[in-house]
A and B are shown apart, each in its own frame.
Chain A
Amino acid sequence: MKQVYFKIIENTHLNPLIMKMVLNGDTSGVKAGQFINIKIDGLFLRRPISVCELSGDNLTIIYKIVGKGTEAMSEMKEGTVLDVLTCLGNGYDLSLSGETPLLIGGGVGVPPMYELAKELIASGKKVTVILGFNTASEIFYEKEFEALGAKVIVTTVDGSYGVKGFVTDAMKDLDYSYFYTCGPEPMLKAVYGASKADGEMSFEERMGCGFGACMGCSCKTLTGNKRICKEGPVLKKGELLW
């Protein structure tokens, strides 16, 4: 864990409820699949948000406006300095990817897949990405993933764009060496059930501290109790009690 003061250099809408914020500061040590915890004036607890992209001194997050914290974030101006804790959580294990990893992101579970895809592609892996949304108007980052050189499949529940249905409908005909996924828990469970290879998934939980002190986000696994913020947010398929 590190405390870093970041300057906001971009805070723009990707669609009415999804925003992209680019932070400039000390990004050293931050890994794909980790999260940052942001102090917001007037709110007590920090807000944990997953890392979407790392690029030199810039760290990008993508967040959905759902409550007071993210509402306040959506109104922040460029140039604002934020008190942020970084290097939180374990991150993805890139060494397990194999040659043809499959990355599956659902809704606000899409962003952490981006840095992961970028790093896997940079190391020569053939990456397929499934991006799941409810409807066409919610889609973001399809082109960005394509620009990285990934094969991208978009699914929408209502069929308004791409494959109609859930991410698991797009998984059926694919062969892959390993999977990485992030999204709402029902989706993670469906991916767990549909997966033909080993993999890992990142979880969400309401957190107190985000760095392992308060035991607010504990869960049980086959390998013992884990704190989503510390031993997670990424858990291996083989340790889940599903």
Chain B
Amino acid sequence: MVDTKVNLLGIELDNPVIPASGTFGYGYEFSEFYDINVLGTFSFKGTTKDARFGNPTPRIAECTAGMINAVGLQNPGVHKVISEELPKLKKCFNKKVMANVSGFSVEDYAYTCELLDKEEQVGWLEVNVSCPNVHGGGMSFGTQPSAAAEVTKAVKKVTNKPIIIKLSPNVTDIVSIAKACEDAGADGISLINTMLGMRIDLNRKKPIIKNVMGGFSGSAIFPVALRMVYQVAGAVKIPVVGMGGVASAEDVIEMMLAGATAVEVGAQNLINPYACRDIINDLPRVMEKYKIKSLKEIIGGARV
């Protein structure tokens, strides 16, 4: 018997597999397909203070071994998430959920986190700092160590739940941003968010995505994500949640060897709605193949 359990910031997960925000709705939608209690947990749809429709369509473009999305944080707003989405989730999920939060000002982040802090279903707050700062000239919070630290401090003040800061890979030095978040009190780091990309429609000779650019995800970005997880995990003392192009049990194990305590799976859920269940079912086989008895013991094992 192999042991797939891991401990993420004080909460034990049956396995390290976590559907990533934006690919799993508010969870209950996927409970039509399988019992989502098999998951370690999942990170729900990026939630903001106010309801958002998001960007104009087309929001999706195909890429080699991946896709671009420019959904633009469509969500019903934190009040409706608490009054409507979480009660629906409660009926089909008996574990703690990871609440993914976005904002366009430091105050937005604090407002949303403070409300979600009161929800007993929420185990962790995953704070996405890839959004543009409307008071900071539209630069993403996640591209400057000081702005990322400011968000971290503001949300730490309003919650007792573990705060995981989700970092953007679209930076020159992700390690300095991770360290700034750690110094500001972050309990964990998750990475990577999508990589900025674009495609052009050869028939129209214009960008496929209405917003021109979008976030590139899928198997193609796995090596970049793995490298960044390795770098960040080597530089901070707090736990790291790895993601980016993870599509198999083997990928999960690679991420953990690079230093991830838990692993999120994103785009793969969109092409195979059973992806996370399949990866979880496959983990024991792959662990036995590579003579791994306990996943806990391999975290960061690849470090040289």
Contact = CB atoms under 8 A, between A and B. Distances in A.
Contacts, number: 86
Nearest to B209: A206
Contact of B271 (A46, A220, A225): A46
Contacts of B54: 215, 218
Chain B contact-residue range equals: 20 to 34
A212 B29 contact: yes
Given A44-B64, A209-B271, A211-B273, A216 B29 contact: no
A218 B56 CA distance: 8
Contact of B25 (A3, A212, A219): A212
B166 to A, nearest CB: 18
A206 B58 contact: yes
B130 interface: no
Contacts of B58: 205-206
A208 B69 contact: yes
B interface majority secondary structure = loop
Contacts of A206: 57-61, 208
A215 B57 contact: no
Interface in B146-161: none
Most chain B CB within a 10 A radius of its CB, from A205, A211, A215: A215
A49 interface: no
Contacts of B30: 213
Nearest to A68: B62
A17 interface: no
Chain A contact-residue range equals: 20 to 34
Interface string A107-146: 0000000000000000000000000000000000000000
Contacts of A217: 57, 59-60
A214 B23 contact: yes
A219 B74 CA distance: 11
Interface string B198-229: 00000000001000000000110000000000
A225 B54 CA distance: 11
A205 B208 CA distance: 12
A242 B271 CA distance: 32
B134 interface: no
Contacts of A68: 62
Contact of A208 (B33, B53, B270, B274): B270
Given A206-B58, A206-B61, A215 B71 contact: yes
Contacts of B60: 45, 206-208, 214, 216-217
Interface in B226-268: 267
Contacts of A212: 25, 29
B11 interface: no
Interface in A191-233: 205-209, 211-220, 225
Contacts of B59: 206, 208, 215-218
Interface in B54-97: 54, 57-67, 69, 71, 74
A148 B61 CA distance: 38
A120 to B, nearest CB: 29
Contacts of A216: 57, 59-60, 69, 71
B24 interface: yes
A70 B251 CA distance: 30
B120 interface: no
A218 B24 contact: no
A interface majority secondary structure = loop
Contacts of A85: 273
Contacts of B45: 215
Given A1-B33, A44-B66, A214-B60, A209 B273 contact: yes
Contact of B74 (A44, A45, A207, A225): A225
Nearest to B208: A206
Interface in A93-114: none
B57 A45 contact: no
A205 B64 contact: no
Contact of A44 (B22, B63, B269): B63
A1 B67 contact: no
A214 B69 CA distance: 9
A216 B68 CA distance: 10
Interface string B133-146: 00000000000000
Contacts of B25: 212-213
A214 B274 CA distance: 15
Contacts of B71: 214-216, 218
A205 B57 CA distance: 8
Contacts of B69: 208, 214, 216
A39 interface: yes
Contacts of B219: 44
B67 A44 contact: yes
Given A206-B208, A208-B60, A220 B53 contact: yes
16 contacts: A3-B273, A44-B63, A45-B62, A68-B62, A205-B57, A205-B58, A206-B59, A206-B60, A211-B273, A213-B29, A213-B30, A214-B71, A215-B71, A217-B60, A219-B57, A220-B53
